[in-house]
């Protein structure tokens, strides 16, 4: 199983309530993200994603 498949599987197993989904949606919207699959480093920096500090 590839790392992408593992990530997708893990995401599908998550159980987010509606409030959590709204919080994430608001964070992405504030960063100007219209599509998660098209996110740029700039978007990650706007939402202060910990992954950016690794890059």
- For 10-38, the pLDDT digits (tens) are 777 777 778 877 888 888 888 888 887 88
Q: In the predicted model, is pLDDT for residue 4 greater than 70?
A: yes
Q: Is the dihedral of CA 39, 42, 43, 45 positive or negative?
A: positive
Residues contacting residue 44 through CB under 8 Å, at least 6 positions apart: 51, 52
pTM over 0.75, yes/no: no
Location of structure tokens 């990530």 = 7
Domain map of the chain by residue range?
16-54
Residues contacting residue 53 through CB under 8 Å, at least 6 positions apart: none
Location of structure tokens 């949606």 = 25
Closest CA to 36 of 47, 19, 9: 47
Residue of higher predicted confidence among 54 and 16: 16
């Amino acid at each position: 199983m590839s790392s992408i498949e593992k990530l997708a599987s893990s995401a599908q197993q998550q159980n987010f309530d509606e409030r959590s989904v709204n919080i994430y949606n608001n964070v992405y919207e504030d960063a100007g993200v219209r599509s998660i699959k098209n996110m740029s480093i700039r978007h990650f920096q706007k939402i202060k994603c910990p992954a950016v500090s690794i890059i």
